[in-house]
Amino acid sequence: RLSEFRGLRAGALRLSVVTTSKYFIPHMLGPFCERYPGIDIQLNVGNRQQIIDRLEAGDEDFYVFSHPPENIDTVSTRFLVNPLVVIAPESHPLAGERSVSLVQLAREPFLMREPGSGTRYAIEQFLHRHDLRLNVKMTIQSNEAIKHAVMSGLGVSILSAHTLTFGGNAGLVELQVEKMPITTSWHMVWPKSKTLSPIADRFLQYVHNEGRRLIEGEFKRVGFETREL
Ligand code: PGA
């Protein structure tokens, strides 16, 4: 036990996470780093495809995805819900509607994430399931740029509710669209061939307990559902 404690006093924790999780991972890291101040954290951020490439190289302890790749031998644990919601500017004519149809959504100018994005991947699966095509007006490589483009009236989009929670939702509203939100989940992922270090193991426990509760608390506070829909 003593040696385990020593193992947690100093060392590194390396994470590669998809861009959408950058809204909550740092909030989880805060209390963890306070408890273990000797641990060096390295956090890489990229879109889903970039994080898949990093997972293949395998240099980090954990990879955070909402859609882990299926063709790589990994261990994956689910820790948090990730609803994708339709966002529009506050002044949008559909903002007060109780139920917007998918056909109505499809007519709106739509701002889409870039190829390689997990958000886009989830939207494409949803469109396929519902035999729907969107009126894509722009492809934008960042959640933040999409939020600002929506605010400025360029169109509507579908983004993770996490981008609105800690990221703020000023000027934006969620449209009540049928069959929405698209519900996915966040996963901690690592290569099956890898043994977790004592630090990584402790972090995994922390994420599944306090870390998860911390994010869910904030999520509820701003009015999003944390249960599986
Ligand atoms: P993205 O991934 O940041 O690449 O869109 C988010 C996700 O996997 O849901």
CATH number of the domain to which 100 belongs: 3.40.190.10
- Residue 144 carries which side chain, given as an amino acid letter? E
- Compute the distance from residue 8 Cα to the ligand 1 centre, in Å: 30
The proportion of the chain whose per-residue pLDDT surpasses 90, expressed as a percent, equals 86
Taking every pair of C-alpha atoms in the chain, what is the biggest distance, in angstroms? 63
**228 falls within a domain:** no
Residue 225, pLDDT score = 67
Q: Which residues sit with their C-beta closer than 6 Å to ligand 1? A: 18-20, 47-48, 65-67, 113, 117-119, 122
Q: Which of 1, 53, 21 is nearest to 207 (CA)?
A: 21
**63 falls within a domain:** yes
Positive or negative, the Cα torsion across 201, 55, 78, 169? positive
Using alpha carbons, list the distances in angstroms from residue 71 to 60, 126, 171: 19, 21, 40
Residue 177: Cβ within 10 Å count: 21
pTM higher than 0.90: yes
pLDDT beyond 80 at 83: yes
In the chain, the number of structural domains is: 2
- Compute the distance from residue 119 Cα to the ligand 1 centre, in Å: 4
pLDDT digit string, tens, across residues 147-201: 999 999 999 999 999 999 887 888 999 999 999 999 999 999 999 999 999 999 9
Residues 211 and 143 in one domain: no
| Domain membership of residue 11 as a residue range | 2-81+184-221
